Amino acid sequence: MENVVLTIHLILALCLIGVVLLQRSEGGGLGMGGGGGGAMSGRAAATALTKLTWIFAIGFIITSITLTLIAAQNAAGSSVVDQFGGSVPEKSAPATPLGTDLLPPAPANAPATPPRADDAAPAPATTGSAATPPRAAEPAAPATAPASGN
């Protein structure tokens, strides 16, 4: 339906342009053209071209309003955002800081995060089934000097 009305609308537009260009200039507009008296003469009789101009103009306005109503019915209750899948996705922070994706991939047995410089060194891995528990750290010597007996 919309395509039929649009085709009629375009044909009416071209006909209206053609009929207006075929009409005789009545002068007065922008100082061009010439008519036999212009505004001083009485109203000229309506010619066939003038009647066609009115018919094409009325048809052009009717098809314009019809196309507007058809477009309004097709777009009722919808949004441009709805046509692309609903809600707008939220922005999230990047998973890795910029520049870290340039490093080569870590080996499979590497820890997930690299150790920091202030972390203690990891304990050496023990082998065998009867592993001895690691020794506890020895307590530090007291930092106070021995008391002198005066």
Q: Is the whole-model pTM more than 0.85?
A: no
pLDDT in tens, 109-147: 766 666 666 656 656 565 555 556 556 566 666 666 666
Parse the chain into domains and list their residue ranges.
Answer: 1-22+50-74
- Say how far apart CA 94 and CA 53 lie, in whole Å: 64
pLDDT in tens, 68-107: 999 888 876 766 676 676 555 566 655 666 666 676 767 7
Which DSSP string corresponds to 26-38? -S-GGG----SSG
